Amino acid sequence: MKIIINESQYKTILKEFMGSIESSKFIEIFKKFLEDNNIVVLFEDDREFKVSIAIKLPKTNSNDYQNIFSDIEKFIQIYGWFVSSYLVGFNNNDDVSFLSYKKLVNWLKTNDSNIELNYVNLYLEKKYTKKNEGQTVFYHVTDKKNTEKIMTYGLRPRNSQNKLFNYTDRIYLANNVKVAYYINDLFKDPESKTDYGKEGVVVFEITLPNSFKTYVDPQAPFSSYVLEPIHPKYIEIYDYLD
């Protein structure tokens, strides 16, 4: 079962929707795409930068499911959106899992051809969300042991430590120092198995030029992210925490 974008859809994309489009229009286009390929939309949740759509796929085999998800990924990326995670119901039980596209495909490959997916929740986000207009000062918390390296080489985008979401490499920033302290408290959760903060924590104050592109983080209120390296000349030590 191969989903194909026809010539008319392709011309529409080129003419009207190059770049990232707003969620309401994106849902309209995406639902039509799903409908044309016999995929049932069970429900939808539309927010400014995030969309959640639950779908019911035709009963088929593992290889066809892989093709369906591959074509969905390709289709939405043209519009400037991506699937940040999948919530999947397998066969006739209540087992569900958060999976990135890569993990989902690997899981399908290792299971037999008679697998059936009850439903799939697609959590979608805009590739580039709303920019922070006018804000130039941000904060970043990290292990104290990273201080010298960051002050020498700056900050570089990297994969999120949260494996539930399939994000591009980025640097997360707090919009104010109170949020930075709050993030630190979350990271230092005593039930966490990470070594974060065992040697102390440093809070950096980062002052970026107006030309630097920063984006609103839809997953975290009062937080932002950047997609390019931050030179050490923009970074100062604000505070040390035990």
Residue type, 206: I
Question: Collapsing DSSP states into helix, strand and coil, what is residue 151?
Answer: helix
Token duo for residue 26:
């994106």
Long-range contacts for 97-104 (Cβ within 8 Å, ≥24 apart)? 98/164, 100/163, 100/165, 100/166, 101/69, 101/73, 101/166, 102/166, 104/69
Q: Which residues contact 12 (CB under 8 A, 6 or more apart)?
A: none
DSSP code of residue 189? -
- H or E segment to which residue 105 belongs: helix 101-109
Per this entry, what is the length of the chain? 242
Residue 81 and residue 125 in contact, taking contact as beta carbons nearer than 8 Å: yes
State the amino acid at position 35 in one-letter form: E
Domains and CATH numbers, the chain: 7-126 (no CATH), 137-241 (3.20.170.30)
Q: What is the pLDDT of residue 19?
A: 45
What is the C-alpha to C-alpha distance for residues 108 and 15, in angstroms, rounded to an integer? 36
Q: Is residue 177 packed enough to be buried (19+ CB in 10 Å), middle (13-18) or exposed (0-12)?
A: middle
The whole-number mean pLDDT for each consecutive block of 10 residues of the chain, a chain of 242 residues, reads 52 45 81 90 79 87 86 85 83 67 81 74 77 86 93 86 59 91 78 72 94 80 87 95 82
Number of neighbouring beta carbons within 10 Å of residue 193? 6
- DSSP tag of 114: T
Strand, coil or helix: what is 73? helix
